[in-house]
Amino acid sequence: MTPEFRAYIAPVRLYPQIWRLILGVLLIVFIYAGFTALVLAGVFAATMPFGFFPFLMELASPANPVPTLVLLFTFAGFGLGAIIAAPACHYRSPATLFGPLDETLRGFFITVVICLAFFAAFGALMLALDTATANLPFGQWVRYLPLAVLLVLVQTASEELVFRAYLPQQLAARFASRAVWMFLPALLFALLHYNPQFGPAAWMIVATVFAFALIATDLVEQTGSLGAAMGLHFVNNLFALLVISMDETITGLSLFIAPLPADMAQWAVSTAVNLAILLVLWRVLRYALTR
């Protein structure tokens, strides 16, 4: 472990018992489920008598703006769960999930600037190669953009609080092995992205998400804060949800849609390209953040 990461997990060492971690995870799931139920109750009140169940079905893979916004908002309960679990189960401040404020902000803004430039170049290349088609009309997209950006930040920060802060911290305070505190949360995060509708290619998506999770956790270790991982996840999802979305995924807020690979060979090439891009971006970020 780096000295920065040792300092990051120092407040966790007071109460690192596994039973507390299990209780914390159950509390996070309970709060997330309860918050989602409250959101859906609001949707029920707004859409009855006939619109609720079609709306509910669309949440599985939303292709329109409002269901997409609602789906993103439900993730607030996930992050809230981690913020409550830290003091409730481990007697530590929720601020310890983020690390030092100055380093968190520094890591977030440096990463956002680098990733925006990186993804802008990649998106321009995709459009130049004519691999994406228009989705939302530009005027409509701009109207939704401020709220969409805010909710993407909520969604990504919430996932980072659980998978790159709470779980790695609690595991690292108890287990020195990187196979436990880094790989297990990354694997869980990747498996939650498994979608059987993609057939055998679903495991290539899982592999890419797993690599992304490892890179994000490494940035947490290198900086001793959550900021860089939050920035990476935020810009990645901004691009994937608001700029160029893959067909048959969450396309409700995207300006463009790119087609899915047509066969396993194309999936393999796409996966290899994505992994290569992630590795290059990781090395650039590591250099910039640890100078």
Question: Would strands 244-246 and 256-258 be described as parallel, antiparallel, or unpaired?
Answer: parallel
What total number of domains does the chain contain? Answer: 1
Domain of residue 270, residue span: 3-289
Q: What is the pLDDT of residue 198?
A: 86
Residue indicated by tokens 């401020």: 146
- Max mean pLDDT range (119-128, 208-217, 246-255): 208-217
**Least reliable range by pLDDT among 126-135, 201-210, 257-266:** 126-135
Greater confidence, 264 or 167?
167
> pLDDT (tens digit, 9 = 90+) per residue, 208-248?
999 999 999 999 999 999 999 999 999 999 999 999 998 88
pTM, rounded to two decimals: 0.93
Q: What is the pLDDT of residue 18?
A: 94
> pLDDT (tens digit, 9 = 90+) per residue, 35-59?
999 998 888 877 776 677 777 777 7
> pLDDT (tens digit, 9 = 90+) per residue, 44-99?
877 776 677 777 777 777 888 988 999 999 999 999 999 999 999 999 999 999 99
On the question of pLDDT at 119 being above 80, the answer is yes
Nearest to 234, CA basis, from 156, 120, 119, 146: 156
Q: What is the pLDDT of residue 60?
A: 72
Name residues whose C-beta falls within 8 Å of residue 264's C-beta, 6 or more positions apart in sequence.
200, 201
On the question of pLDDT at 26 being above 70, the answer is yes
> pLDDT (tens digit, 9 = 90+) per residue, 183-192?
999 999 999 9
Q: What is the pLDDT of residue 115?
A: 95
> pLDDT (tens digit, 9 = 90+) per residue, 155-165?
999 999 999 99
Could you tell me what percent of the chain has a pLDDT over 90? 73
